[in-house]
Structure 1
Amino acid sequence: MYWCACALLFTGVCSVFSPVPEQLSLSGTWTLSGQDGALVLPAVVPGCVHSALRREGLIQDPYFRFNDVSYRWIALENWTYSTTFAASAHLRSRQEVELIFDGVDTVASITLNGNLVGKTDNMFRRYDFSVRELLKEADNLLQVQFLSPVVYASERSKAHQSYRVPPQCPPDVQKGECHVNFIRKEQSSFSWDWGPSFPTMGLWRDVRLEGFDALQLQQLSYLPLYNGSGSQWGLQVELLIDAVRTTGVQVTFSISELGLEQVFQTQFLPGRTKRTFTFNIEKSSRVKLWWPSGHGDQPFHLLSVRVFVDGSLMLDREVKVYFRTVELIQEPIPGSPGLSFYFQINGKPIFLKGSNWIPAHAFQDQVTPAVLKNLLRSAVDANMNALRVWGGGVYEQDLFYDMCDDMGIMVWQDFMFACAMYPTEADFIQTVREEAVQQVGRLKSHPSIIIWSGNNENEAALATNWFNISASQRPVYVKDYVTLYVDNIRKIVQKEDPSRPFLVSSPTNGVESEQEGWVAADPYNPHYGDVHFYSYLSDCWDWTTFPRTRFASEYGFQSWPSFSTLQPVSVGEDWSFDSRFTSHRQHHQSGNQQMLEQAALHFHLPNATDLLRRFTQTLYITQVMQAQCVKAQTEFYRSSRSQVVGGKGHTMGALYWQLNDIWPAPSWSSLEFGGKWKMLHYFARSFFAPLLPVSVEDDGALIIYAVSDLSADLKLRAVVTVHSWAYLDPVCSRTSDLRVVPGGSAAVLYRQPVATLLAGCGRCTRLTCLLTFHLEDSAGIQQGSNNYHFLSSPREAEGLQRANITVKVQQDGGGLTVTLQSSSIAAFVWLDVGNIPGRFTANGFLMLSRNKTVGFEPWRPTSAAELSRSLTVTTLRDVY
């Protein structure tokens, strides 16, 4: 249906009603200029100032050596993005034309043809402005004038006169900028203990014009509805519409697989309107459920949404719809004080195995689909089923959550507040409210997101007085805390998305924190909620130093990345553990020393006279230390899932800090910048295995658990093998009785004093021997992965020799393989192929046999010859 409104007097054209909205992308190449106009260069949108300067060769790689400090000037200046464009007569004749910015980083004034269109102050919001009357046919000039985020944050802090809002500045070791809590921007962009200070500016997401005559869809979201008692599924669909004409609107929903078609007659008020449509699915038995990785598949149904105005089709969209339920269970545990804390997906308790996600790059325009896919696939390939999107970074791009949906990765989603107090002025609260509404609306349709959390560690900061707030002033900060996270963010989430649990903070005591006025006396109480735990000075091999918590959402140890990752951002004089470069890259106070002290508890430290060799071996030993430490802690948490000891236990989550790196530097990550697997990530593939034998020593007794994430019960026994450090052939073995291991449990299969175990094995002592163990079924077939148990620190081991290992690289129909042949036992065998991207099927392993073959999966075309030339093999005995 068409109608014509003559507009010759005004535009010289006849405005013809068109049922299809029109879009003009303004992304692409813009012009970037400095504040004095002396520097003018092209800039790609989406992008940022740093990327534009780098692309034009005006700065070096910002990650090279000390450039994070050298390029501080960039964030202290004001910058302007400009573009010109033509607007067709047809676009200008539309009843409404909106200028839409999906992401502006951060504080800017926007003008179109010299007219102020609006201002922005929040990196996490989408902004749109009505601009129809400002458009002309050609040479429309659009300018976005950015203020320095560092200067803006400082000025906002100075304007807050009544009381300080800590912390004012990051620790000196981070070499960062101050007052980041006064700007709604990626908090880690002003620096963090694992990342550089690059306070970016730019149009970091798309820009476009959208014109329409009747209505335009701004957002389509849905929530699955489940009536547990009747096993009945329904669907709630929300349409956020900008409307001009409002009558005669018909909305049709259909899912062909489920035989669903629902028709609604409605209207949209002029302006922005949200309409919610709810309906039942009569053929609920056909609904396919989404499951986390390792627990089932991730099927979806296609929902068709069509909107008609006066019989004309205005909107035709097809979206994926996933069905699943999520519950956070906090209920009494028999015989234990406190409450449980675990997630149920589709009614099944799930142990969350995974890590914490930080921004994948300091410059978000560099986070490509390939980067995301590599990192997320590496998580799933290491048997992870969950990631926590940490609250000091960004709400990730849509593709991140799409991939998590497809891969079955559960997402713990923080709001972007971290390690700070925040102001509560009216304008700050208002922009946060807009941020929360938009982000929840954008993300709530993703089944991967299983929980919202208001902030990272801010309850703990208040409770344990990180910022030396006086007792008399504390009520002021508690009031601000409740105002921001409870009265605003929590209420918005409960209104916009009642389908998921919400926690005010992490760590938190959950409902117990709520009962204590939202700030618990001890948010680290292991009887409630989730816990963050770090201890760099205690012996990380001693499981008694770990909290037996309900849920461990942060824990970890640092290591350095590989030499091949550091080499492109450094020079020869930097390749020493005592160099200015290694000190500069370490943003955690005393971090380099802590790594060496922790490693020295169990390993000899490298002491080669050749400085480069000592440096590369030190990098290696930090990775060995990190992998062993996180292995010990994670296996303790997994073995505690079915135990309550002294009222503590029933642990149902282990998310170590952290998955990925933002730049080449020391950090807690298991994936280096660029995606290379550290030794920790190879270990994670084993310690997150769905069926895993775990050992602990308690009062001199060896205890072996079978930890199962499987649904079915299994009948298993533990097989323990004793090895001498001096010989490749096993000394003896011991086998337990068969026992039923219930699905989703940790069951003890073996318990025996170590002295008794060794007494029947020749001349073995704690210093001369070590143990390996695995699980078998009644037919003697191994189930699950292998594991090992050191009877003493390897630095004290007697008989460990420097192994003579020969290597053969082959390529056949099955891909690339590396076969190792060893003359003796070798510990922590590390295969490195330099800058050839890819990963091995196993690495960092104990070589307890004469021959071992591992595969290599390249991430670009390579050959056996190239791999062979680049391959180096390092073992523990090589470093001393």
Structure 2
Amino acid sequence: MYTSDREYSLSQMTWELKGFWPWVPVKGTSMEIGNELLGVTEWMPATVPGGVHYDLYRAGWIENPYQDMNSLQCEWVENRWWVYRTCFEWKDIYPQTDTVATELICQGLDYEALIYWNGQYLGEHIGMYEPAVFDITEQLQQSECVELLIVLKHPPDEMGQIGKTSATFTQKSRFNYKWDFSTRLINIGIWDDIVLKSYQHCSLQDIQVKTDLNEQHQGVIQIGGEIQPHGKSKGKKSTLVQVAIFDPAGNAVVQLEQSFIKNESTFTMQSLIDSPQLWYPNGYGDQPLYKVKITLLQHNTICDVYTCRVGIRQLEYVSNEGSPTDALPYTVKINGRKIYIRGANITPLDHLYGNVTAHRYEWLIHLAKEANMNMLRIWGGGIIEKSILYELCDMHGIMIWQEFIQSSSGIDNTPSQRPEFLDLLQRNAISALKRRRNHTSLTIWSGGNELMSAPNIPSTYDDHNLALLQQLVQQYDPQRMFLPTSASGPVQYITHEKGVSHDVHGHWKYEGNPQHYVLYGEADHLFHSEFGVDGLSHVRSLHKFLSQSYRQPTSMEDSLVWRHHGEWWDTYSRDIELFGSLDTLESFVDCSQWIQAEGLRFILDSNRSRQFNNSGSLVWQLNEPWPNVTCTNLIDYYNEAKMAYYWVKEAYAPFRASIDYRSLHYVIGETVEFPLRVVSNHASREFTINMQLLDSKGQMLQHHSIVGTTNIDHVITPTIFCCEIPQTADQLFYIRLQSVCGDQSIADNMYPFSTRQQSIYAPTLDQANVDLAVEAHHDWTHSSLSGYHHTSFWKREYTVTNQGNTVALHIYPYESTDRFWMTASEGYFTLFPGESKQIVVTCCDQAAELFPADRSILYTAKDDKNEQTSQPEIAFASFQQHAIRSDIERSLNM
């Protein structure tokens, strides 16, 4: 967001890394015999930004920490000190002759660092999120040849998921210390950029850009900041601040300026824009961004330039419909319109978050946008993300819920009151507020994750820790709402009890049949900011980090390796109960992913059926930072979209028709009522819904059509589909909703039910006569899409036809070369005999894996993507084709 021709990134330099025992880099030589202390490794090539583990793997010091239980063999890394070194001639890279001051700015030191410039100690820095800034003006005058050393002490002994929040003393990302979706692999390194920045006699500091709408519907852009003097200033100097604002097409629409007679001052300017192009969240409108350019001049010489892109929008928070008087305002309004929150929580993209490329960030936001999401919660046990994530969310309409770095710990969850922690929290919070507040996508601040003053009682603004953060948000970013914690109560977890749930968390498991449907179908919470259902990763992903001997169905109780990759999320007994015997890894994966998708779909439809009494849902979780056998994520570590991803995408669609039910199995001959629910982003659009009752051969057993009109703010229930439960050959029956809204055909919503009382879905595992025909249309198109600067996309359309004589369940495409990431317009859809569906597939080149089997790849790669010359290869498979898919996996030598 900030740009300047007076900044130079030192990431472009050649860096080296070396490991030492603690304190050895400071001492250097033995006190007793005077010899140089050589360290525990030799110097090795290093990546900046990056992380120590990645460089150790490249140099052969550790094995792939994501494979099997190898991470246990890497825990020695966190007990050493690590030294980064680079050498350069500074005038060769930084030739400005009008500089009066220069700073070294380390934007992401993880975690505690000592910094040396040509052997001179500049200082110590503690904390990941507040930049370490050093004035090196005098040092540059002493020598043109520079040796920069950054000594990283071993990480602090912080707590993982289980511990005492009240004893927290750092602002280090805690998921690294072991969480339910990660292992203990504590990142250490330079995780964000290091720059040299030069100044003339003054510079711009603490810029804040606010946008709003006034009563005349004019766009309001308010700009404030400070002018900071540098060097020795003599007498009065004429200083001028110029502001230019450009519309999304690049046309200048505003020119402002303000003069100063003294060097140091604050300034505020405001501009009104007639007929502004308004910014809306994804699914509610476009995301036009205006460019704001601030130029600081002294005697007609440009001293500094700040540019950013902002959306014009009015941001409000209102109470939910029927909300208790003591509830917080959980409904977000943008430009006067209520926005129903459809989103997910995200974890850091990788254990080694310093090594995450722009390409990976772009694919994550592409996945979120394609899944009809409009908000991401950046969870308090992770990190305050790099600027690229917020920029992408600005461009694509993904609102951000940003938590400060605090989280629950199980033993106690009380926010830390330790004076040294509060001081560190305050400094890091101020830095985050100043650096992220100009992003239009930023919508909510939160004090942290699951902070509680007592069991099941979320902490409030009365807590001293959270009161401090509330005051900081009010001071530095008063436009945004600050929530004390997530969930914000008054009870922490979802419950059957009525009238006590405002913002709640939970649960994270499928609650069983029919318990799952009773709990979520009858809940009355106002907001659901975290919940999930677990499911296995894709087979291809499992093959990448599990050795051959661990690739068979098992439970966490019986396999230490599986337990190491997701102990909490064992679905084996759950899936056996619903499907019976699971003989192959492929069938286990399919069944586990099905129940994850089914469980999430019902929760989302139930929450959305109460719009805007319920203001939204944030699924736990979109991604994961390391490869789990099973987890609550929608996309596994290797960016394979699970079945749940596609069913969540459909549940979040702008138009959605669903049925309400309380069980997956029924008794033959009983009459059951299935209420129909219709919700839409759009007002007064006519829709038609065909409700069908079918058997596995596609025979229509019952049919009913209804025509209605959408309501923009409320769900409508136009009818009840009343069915007599049929007797079928395989004891399965299906209810399908086929919808048309306006002139747009909507993805079918299909519900498989059973009349069995045990192993209700066992008949689906029979090797059915499924015969899919796939026809590709046209050639691949390859192009860049707006808003993505590091990623280009491949697109192609396919027609899939069920040529067999029975239903083809959960058909999905996959990219068979494993060199491309892939999404599709629909996935895990069902076709009855003779039916066809057109699917658009979108692919992009994969980013290089952090830990490929061939280490030499890491040294020959030219950028963050594999060299790709071929095109994607797409195939389709259905749930019943386990044997075929086993052959596919073997053909890939997995």
- TM-score normalised by the chain length of structure 2: 0.81
- The 1:113/1:353 distance shift into structure 2, 3 A limit, reads same
Q: In structure 2, what is the Cα distance between the partners aligned to 1:331 and 1:61?
A: 49
Q: What are the superposed Cα offsets for residues 418-448 of structure 1, whole Å, 9 maximum, x if unpaired? A: 1144543433222222211111111111111
Q: What secondary structure sits across from 1:378 in the alignment?
A: helix
Q: In structure 2, what is the Cα distance between the partners aligned to 1:204 and 1:301?
A: 30
- Select 2:199's aligned residue among 191, 212, 228: 212
Q: In structure 2, what is the Cα distance between the partners aligned to 1:785 and 1:810?
A: 20
> Does the CA-based 8 Å contact 1:739-1:749 persist in structure 2?
yes
Q: What secondary structure sits across from 1:749 in the alignment?
A: coil
Q: What are the superposed Cα offsets for residues 116-155 of structure 1, whole Å, 9 maximum, x if unpaired? A: 2111110111110112223332333322211111xx336x
2:23 aligned with 1:31: no
Aligned to 1:44: 47
- Select 1:599's aligned residue among 567, 575, 579: 575
**Residue 739 of structure 1: CA displacement?**
3.4
Q: Which amino acid aligns with 1:806?
A: D
> Does the CA-based 8 Å contact 1:391-1:417 persist in structure 2?
yes
Q: In structure 2, what is the Cα distance between the partners aligned to 1:480 and 1:73?
A: 41
Q: What are the superposed Cα offsets for residues 590-614 of structure 1, whole Å, 9 maximum, x if unpaired? A: 6354x133334533341x3xxxxx1
Q: What are the superposed Cα offsets for residues 69-109 of structure 1, whole Å, 9 maximum, x if unpaired? A: 11000011111112223333966984322111111001111
Aligned to 1:787: 749
- The 1:584/1:768 distance shift into structure 2, 3 A limit, reads closer
Aligned to 1:751: 720
- The 1:445/1:526 distance shift into structure 2, 3 A limit, reads farther
Q: What are the superposed Cα offsets for residues 486-529 of structure 1, whole Å, 9 maximum, x if unpaired? A: 12x111111111111111111014xx79xxxxx99999986554
Q: In structure 2, what is the Cα distance between the partners aligned to 1:138 and 1:678?
A: 54
Aligned to 1:143: 149
- The 1:253/1:712 distance shift into structure 2, 3 A limit, reads same
Q: What secondary structure sits across from 2:281 in the alignment?
A: coil
Q: Which amino acid aligns with 1:713?
A: S
2:242 aligned with 1:278: no
- Select 1:849's aligned residue among 824, 833, 837: 833
**Residue 828 of structure 1: CA displacement?**
2.8
User: In the TM superposition, what are the counterparts of 1:768-783 in structure 2 within 5 Å?
Assistant: 768-776=732-740, 783=745
> Does the CA-based 8 Å contact 2:65-2:74 persist in structure 1?
yes
- The 1:707/1:445 distance shift into structure 2, 3 A limit, reads farther
- The 1:465/1:289 distance shift into structure 2, 3 A limit, reads closer
- Select 2:593's aligned residue among 616, 623, 626: 623
Q: Which has the higher helix share?
A: 1
**Residue 635 of structure 1: CA displacement?**
1.0
Q: Which moved more, 1:234-243 or 1:199-208?
A: 234-243
Q: Which amino acid aligns with 2:257?
A: V
Aligned to 2:36: none
Aligned to 2:626: 663
Q: What secondary structure sits across from 2:605 in the alignment?
A: helix
Q: Which moved more, 1:28-37 or 1:333-342?
A: 333-342
**Residue 843 of structure 1: CA displacement?**
2.6
**Residue 659 of structure 1: CA displacement?**
0.3
Q: Which amino acid aligns with 1:770?
A: Y
Q: Which amino acid aligns with 2:269?
A: T
Q: In structure 1, what is the Cα distance between the partners aligned to 2:385 and 2:144?
A: 36
Aligned to 2:122: 117
- TM-score normalised by the chain length of structure 1: 0.82
2:256 aligned with 1:262: yes
**Residue 343 of structure 1: CA displacement?**
0.9
- Aligned pair count reads 792
Q: In structure 1, what is the Cα distance between the partners aligned to 2:497 and 2:487?
A: 7
**Residue 360 of structure 1: CA displacement?**
0.6
Aligned to 1:62: 65
User: In the TM superposition, what are the counterparts of 1:577-596 in structure 2 within 5 Å?
Assistant: 577-578=553-554, 583-586=560-563, 591-593=568-570, 595-596=571-572
> Does the CA-based 8 Å contact 1:337-1:527 persist in structure 2?
no
Q: In structure 1, what is the Cα distance between the partners aligned to 2:90 and 2:496?
A: 56
Q: Which moved more, 1:45-54 or 1:524-533?
A: 524-533
Aligned to 2:383: 394
Q: Which amino acid aligns with 1:238?
A: G
Q: In structure 2, what is the Cα distance between the partners aligned to 1:586 and 1:829?
A: 30
**Residue 684 of structure 1: CA displacement?**
1.6
> Does the CA-based 8 Å contact 1:81-1:144 persist in structure 2?
yes
Q: Which moved more, 1:792-801 or 1:372-381?
A: 792-801
User: In the TM superposition, what are the counterparts of 1:596-745 in structure 2 within 5 Å?
Assistant: 596-606=572-582, 608=583, 614-641=584-611, 650-665=613-628, 666-697=630-661, 701-725=672-696, 727-736=697-706, 738-745=707-714
Q: Which amino acid aligns with 2:239?
A: V
Q: What are the superposed Cα offsets for residues 315-361 of structure 1, whole Å, 9 maximum, x if unpaired? A: 34443231112222126728999576311111101111111111111
**Residue 811 of structure 1: CA displacement?**
3.9
Percent identical pairs in the alignment equals 21
Q: In structure 1, what is the Cα distance between the partners aligned to 2:406 and 2:262?
A: 35
Q: What are the superposed Cα offsets for residues 461-487 of structure 1, whole Å, 9 maximum, x if unpaired? A: 634389xxxxxxxxxxx7998222212
Aligned to 2:183: 196
Aligned to 1:464: 456
> Does the CA-based 8 Å contact 2:239-2:298 persist in structure 1?
yes
> Does the CA-based 8 Å contact 2:672-2:723 persist in structure 1?
yes
**Residue 563 of structure 1: CA displacement?**
1.6
Q: In structure 1, what is the Cα distance between the partners aligned to 2:178 and 2:17?
A: 25
> Does the CA-based 8 Å contact 2:508-2:534 persist in structure 1?
no
> Does the CA-based 8 Å contact 2:658-2:678 persist in structure 1?
yes
Q: In structure 1, what is the Cα distance between the partners aligned to 2:300 and 2:96?
A: 23
- The 1:480/1:349 distance shift into structure 2, 3 A limit, reads closer
Q: In structure 1, what is the Cα distance between the partners aligned to 2:246 and 2:811?
A: 54
> Does the CA-based 8 Å contact 2:282-2:397 persist in structure 1?
yes
Aligned to 2:859: none
- Select 1:405's aligned residue among 394, 404, 412: 394
Aligned to 1:543: 517
Q: In structure 2, what is the Cα distance between the partners aligned to 1:545 and 1:388?
A: 24
**Residue 301 of structure 1: CA displacement?**
1.8
Q: What are the superposed Cα offsets for residues 644-681 of structure 1, whole Å, 9 maximum, x if unpaired? A: xxxxxx11201111001212212111111122110111
- Select 1:501's aligned residue among 467, 473, 481: 481
2:241 aligned with 1:251: yes
Q: What secondary structure sits across from 1:702 in the alignment?
A: strand
> Does the CA-based 8 Å contact 2:241-2:297 persist in structure 1?
yes
> Does the CA-based 8 Å contact 1:508-1:523 persist in structure 2?
no
- The 1:715/1:138 distance shift into structure 2, 3 A limit, reads closer
Q: What secondary structure sits across from 1:774 in the alignment?
A: strand
Q: What secondary structure sits across from 1:686 in the alignment?
A: helix
Q: In structure 1, what is the Cα distance between the partners aligned to 2:615 and 2:165?
A: 38
Q: What are the superposed Cα offsets for residues 802-852 of structure 1, whole Å, 9 maximum, x if unpaired? A: 322234444441535363422211333455445353234333222223243
Q: Which amino acid aligns with 1:571?
A: S
Q: Which amino acid aligns with 1:464?
A: N
**Residue 412 of structure 1: CA displacement?**
1.2
Q: Structure 1 regions of 5+ residues with no counterpart?
A: 1-18, 155-167, 467-477, 514-518, 609-613, 643-649
Q: What secondary structure sits across from 1:60 in the alignment?
A: coil
Aligned to 1:806: 771
> Does the CA-based 8 Å contact 1:577-1:618 persist in structure 2?
yes
Q: What secondary structure sits across from 1:748 in the alignment?
A: coil
Aligned to 1:134: 139
Q: What secondary structure sits across from 1:747 in the alignment?
A: coil
> Does the CA-based 8 Å contact 1:818-1:856 persist in structure 2?
no
Q: What secondary structure sits across from 2:700 in the alignment?
A: coil
Q: In structure 1, what is the Cα distance between the partners aligned to 2:731 and 2:101?
A: 80
Aligned to 1:437: 430
**Residue 410 of structure 1: CA displacement?**
1.2
Q: In structure 2, what is the Cα distance between the partners aligned to 1:632 and 1:701?
A: 18
> Does the CA-based 8 Å contact 2:340-2:615 persist in structure 1?
yes
